[in-house]
Structure 1
Amino acid sequence: MKINGVELQDLDIYDIEVAEKYEQAMNTLTGLDEKVKNLNGVESIRAICTLIFDVFNTMFGEGTDKKIFGNKVNLITCIKALEEFQIQMNDQKKEIEKLFNKYSPNRAARRSKK
């Protein structure tokens, strides 16, 4: 998996341990707008980036934020990296949907045959 040009280990969203970490990591971002609404610009950038750093450290291990971002705290870079991560995880989800759809009968097609 490549994030912000940095090669990281591939994750399998359907491995239970990875799925639990992923759910935990994404839950830290819930209500982000509420968490930063009373902060000034600099404070909100730091808070948002810190939460995103925590997502990567939760998923890939402590220190991953430094591998991906170095010592920079840049809001655009953080958001783009999180987006890259989300896209790659969502691509895995699409794969499993294709498998389920392959074995799930289409109700409308069955009904039209009656």
Structure 2
Amino acid sequence: MKINNVELQDIDILDYEVAEKWENALEHVEGVAKSIEGTKVSETIKIQCNAIFEVFNTLFGEGTDKKVFGDRVNLMMCLKAFEELVLYIKEQKTEVEKMASKYSPNRVQRRNKK
């Protein structure tokens, strides 16, 4: 997978350990977003970027933040990279949902009526 024009290893969100890491990282990011209300803009940027750096390091290994972002702490860059990651994960989930829907009880019943 490519994030911010940097090639990273593909992750399998359907692997238990990866899913657990992702859920925990997402909860942390959501908590950070709530905690920055009333904070100076510069501090907000630093806090949000650090939370996103932590997500990348958790999922892909320590130092991934430096690989993807260099030494920059730029909120727009961080948010775009995080969005790319979220979209990648959503694609995997959508693919599984399509497969699972083939075997939903309603569909099986309709097919049996034919």
What is the TM-score with the length of structure 1 in the denominator?
A: 0.90
Amino acid at match of 1:13: I
Q: CA deviation at 1:34?
A: 2.3
1:33, 1:75 → 2: CA distance? 13
Aligned to 2:72: 72
1:32, 1:80 → 2: CA distance? 17
Aligned to 2:56: 56
User: Aligned residue pairs: how many?
Assistant: 110
1:31, 1:17 → 2: CA distance? 21
Aligned to 2:82: 82
Structure 1 consecutive aligned stretches of length 4 or more whose deviation exceeds 4 Å: none
Unpaired runs of 5+ residues, structure 2, are: none
Q: CA deviation at 1:66?
A: 0.2
Quote the RMSD (CA, aligned, Å): 1.4
2:31, 2:18 → 1: CA distance? 22
Taking only the aligned residue pairs, the percentage that are identical comes to 55
SS of 1:11's equivalent? coil
Amino acid at match of 1:98: K
Unpaired runs of 5+ residues, structure 1, are: none
Q: CA deviation at 1:68?
A: 0.2
